[in-house]
A and B are shown apart, each in its own frame.
Chain A
Amino acid sequence: MNITKQVEQLLKQGDVDIFLAYRELDGHLIPHGYTLDNLEDLENLKVSQHRYSLEKVATHLTEKKPNLKIGIVARDCNQRALNLLYTWNQLSPENITPLMVNCCPSQTRNHSDCTYLEPKKTGTFKQKKGIDFNENPREFMDNNDNGQRFSRWMYEFSKCIKCYGCRNICPVCFCTDCSLENPDLVEPGALPPEIPIFHLVRATHMAGRCIDCGLCEDACPAEIPLRFLYREMNRIVSDVFDYTPGAGLEKSPFTIIGNEVTLEPRPMDA
């Protein structure tokens, strides 16, 4: 059964109130919310090559109407993001119906319909001074000594224009109070940001959250290899905490928000 029929059925049976997928409009493939009111739009339903974070849209919708039943066309990365949002209680699995589509690594085709399957290109100057997008973090550690690593990262970070694009596009950045907007940590209205602190603050907050979707690297106008950085953070998290964010629904070892106090206050001599 093709995806249009499936979505139509889900909507008509009332399994979902709104279905988030893509449509073609003026030559652009853009996200769209399909509902019973605009069933005629369904014939334009597409699975876009370009990926937007539909799960973030779902959290926005849930914020407005908590019991809304949402369907989502999901690739592997969307599914990981959804898992993480379930763990952090941002979405509830009962209200979300993901419809899985062809993705990397695809069982049907080697190269599937995702732009992320084409590796990013790195220019020669960036290779010489900065960091290659496609380098293996382990090789990066072996090939560069402490000072080289530092200067390469500082070159990359110094390009930052502080657009907050990495934070804004991130499907798992849902805190209402962002550390990067705290005037005591990051001075407002000053450019460049304090490097490398600005980026390391974000990297630390991505620990145990980053689901390696690559949207941040794609949205970065300064071409900072963020995915490369967060991938290494994820490796450390999986080594140290034995946890892979988004892999399943197990509880996260990180309790940054919704903190449970495990130590009960009691008298000193008890």
Chain B
Amino acid sequence: MNCKFVPSVCSYCGTGCGVLFEVIDGKINSTLPLKSHPVNQGKLCIKGWSLHEYINSYMRLKAPLVKENGHFQKATWDEAITHAAKNFNRIKETHGPDAIGVLVSAKVTNEENYLAQKLARAAIGTNNVDHCARL
């Protein structure tokens, strides 16, 4: 039996509350607020308290899905990325780059957000970038 606590940052919103995962035998069992964290000082909201539930949820996506004939089919990452790239190129060519918008999330890191806007501006060529934490 092995029990350890792993400090982390809540992935829900841009506030960045410190959380502590109770890991029993390699599986996250519950979430606690990190008391010494300067942001939340040992407090959490309901979403933070239930972080462990979505990690263990059966509804969680574990493989990329590609929609074929109205139904989602499991695909490999290579297939999915090629499919997406091909279709983005097609849209860009037929309707212009501003037909594409990029929405980023507060659930990813600053660096990933930066890369997403770089992709939008440099690779796709549009300024249609927005972010759910742009409150």
Interface of B: prevailing SS: mixed
CA distance A65 to B24 in the complex (A): 11
CA distance A35 to B3 in the complex (A): 9
Which A residue's beta carbon lies closest to that of B43?
A221
Which B residue's beta carbon lies closest to that of A68?
B1
B12-70 at interface with A (beta carbon < 8 Å): 18, 20, 22, 24-25, 29-30, 32-37, 40, 42-46, 48-49
CA distance A34 to B34 in the complex (A): 20
Interface of A: prevailing SS: mixed
B29 touches A220 (CB 8 A): no
Residues from chain B with Cβ under 8 Å of A18 in the complex: 1-3
A26 touches B35 (CB 8 A): no
Identify A35's interface contact among B1, B7, B48, CB under 8 A.
B1
- Pick from A35, A51, A60, A221 the residue with the most CB of B within 10 Å: A221
Residues from chain B with Cβ under 8 Å of A150 in the complex: none
The yes or no answer to A33 lying at the interface (CB within 8 A) is yes
The yes or no answer to B4 lying at the interface (CB within 8 A) is yes
A60 and B29 in contact, given A30-B20, A164-B49 (Cβ under 8 angstroms): yes
A165 and B43 in contact, given A31-B5, A57-B22, A61-B3 (Cβ under 8 angstroms): yes
With A64-B1, A220-B43 known, 7 other A-B pairs at CB within 8 A are A27-B36, A32-B4, A161-B45, A165-B43, A168-B30, A168-B49, A221-B44
What residues of chain B have their CB less than 8 Å away from a CB belonging to chain A? 1-5, 7, 18, 20, 22, 24-25, 29-30, 32-37, 40, 42-46, 48-49
